[in-house]
Amino acid sequence: MDRNSHHVDVVKLIRDELKEVPQIPECCIYRVPFRLKSGPFREGKEEVYIPKVVSIGPLHHGNKGLEKMEEKKMIYLKDFLERNDVSLEHCVDTVEESLGKIRKCYEESLGYKENEHELVKIILVDAVFVIETLLKCRYENFRDDNDRMFRPFVLPDVRTEFLLLENQLPFFILKELFKFTKDINISLIDFCFSFLSSCYIFYQWPEEEYMEQIKDTYEPKHLVDLLWKISAPLVPHEGESCESVLIPSATQLHQAGAKLKKGSAKLKKGSAKNLLDIHFENGTLTIPKLLIDDGTKIILRNLIAFEQCHNSKINYVTVYITFMDSIIDTPKDVDLLVQEGIIENWLGDSSEVSSLINRLGEGIHVSIDLYHAQLAKNINSYCKNPWHSWKANLKQNYFNTPWVIISFLAALVLIVLTIIQTVYSIIST
């Protein structure tokens, strides 16, 4: 073979491969990056991203240990078809017509090229299962008396696993299938709001006015994205440049004389009150209340993973965790935050909470143009002022009870009276 012929073969080979290269997809469902699963405390990390009770979508379909829930899915599909008097054929057609769009929502190729009907079945059965779960959570008369899903220790696990990044379905296919429901006057997104409110870890559910704005202006990509949007500021903030974003721990702030205060997590139209509604004014640091229980780690890790994978201008949850990691170094910091009502600790052990917050930041990328750059500057400036530390030390160590203050005042009065008496005696002589 001469050199020109070899050159033509190489060109043809590359051109054939270029034809198969897809456009950059507008994906929104990802495998969690290895860097978030690895690190010095890798053990147990992968578990927070992988379903143990129910798989939703194709990424974990067929995983060992999830077989029982596959039976439940078919029961729910039967309930859906019979209650809504809709044909299975119409549901299958709906998924088949959207299959190309569904594939584009996943970062990785889903396969099933030779067995596409199996992918259609997975999407349909799982989507109906999600819809039926939302309906049965709200309407008890939709449930069977023997439905194990609604026993106290099953539903919380299912709720949490609906919020795993690798366990998502595109929201639009849920909406399309939801159209088949009969005699339901509530929108799908309202059902989702009700469902998500039970596992909302930022304590206070947003006000109705803000939720209405989300309904009117936002098209969620999936359930994780919807929870992210609920938690994000209503008014975006680009952040500011900052040489150092390190913030003293809660204990160090206390020793420097700064006060810690529980803030509101309510969202209002035109305001930015949310998980990042953190302010430092007149020596008082105000932080929204955070509920920490067994599901907190799973929900936060998957929200962070979504931000780290998706093209978000501001990674709000990541910034929030970076801030909390700064002010929590030891169990003493947790105790102080619990005392001030900023953290509600359902785990019981303060060391477990501090370890949880510190490990959440492993492997994440945060821009130096942080949301709280000016906040960090103000806090550090306050803590560097020695007068605040001296005043706090005096108050915390020497005037920490009313009796000490009373004794001091009495002693002060006695000293003043003694001085006056001495001066008067000198003048009299």
Q: Give per-residue pLDDT as tens, 132-149.
A: 999 999 999 899 888 888
> What's the total number of domains in the chain?
3
Q: Give the model's pLDDT for residue 236.
A: 62
257 and 164 in a common domain: no
177 and 50 in a common domain: yes
Which of 187, 204, 229 lies at the terminal end of a domain, its last residue? 187
Residue 355, pLDDT above cutoff 70: yes
User: Cβ neighbours of residue 334 under 8 Å, at least 6 residues apart?
Assistant: 328, 343, 345, 350, 351, 353, 354
Is 372 a domain residue? Answer: yes
Name the pTM for this structure.
0.81
Separation CA 415–CA 420 (nearest Å)? 9
Q: How would you classify the pairing of strands 259-263 and 284-288?
A: parallel
**Percent of the chain with pLDDT strictly greater than 90:** 38
Q: Give the model's pLDDT for residue 242.
A: 53
Is 163 a domain residue? Answer: yes
Q: Which residues pair with 343 in a beta bridge?
A: 290
Which of 166, 187, 208 lies at the terminal end of a domain, its last residue? 187
Range of the domain at 385: 250-392
Highest mean pLDDT pick, 3-17, 52-66, 337-351 = 52-66
294 and 360 in a common domain: yes
pLDDT digits (tens, 9 = 90+) for 207-225: 788 888 889 999 999 999 9
Is 88 a domain residue? Answer: yes
420 and 377 in a common domain: no
Q: Region 317-334: what's the mean pLDDT?
A: 90
**Percent of the chain with pLDDT strictly greater than 70:** 79
301 and 267 in a common domain: yes
Residue 32, pLDDT above cutoff 60: yes
Is 234 a domain residue? Answer: no
Instruction: Give how far Cα 419 sits from Cα of 45, 50, 360, 406, 423, Å.
Output: 69, 76, 61, 20, 6
Q: Give the model's pLDDT for residue 224.
A: 96
Q: Would you place residue 166 in the very low, low, confident or very high pLDDT band (cuts 50, 70, 90)?
A: very high
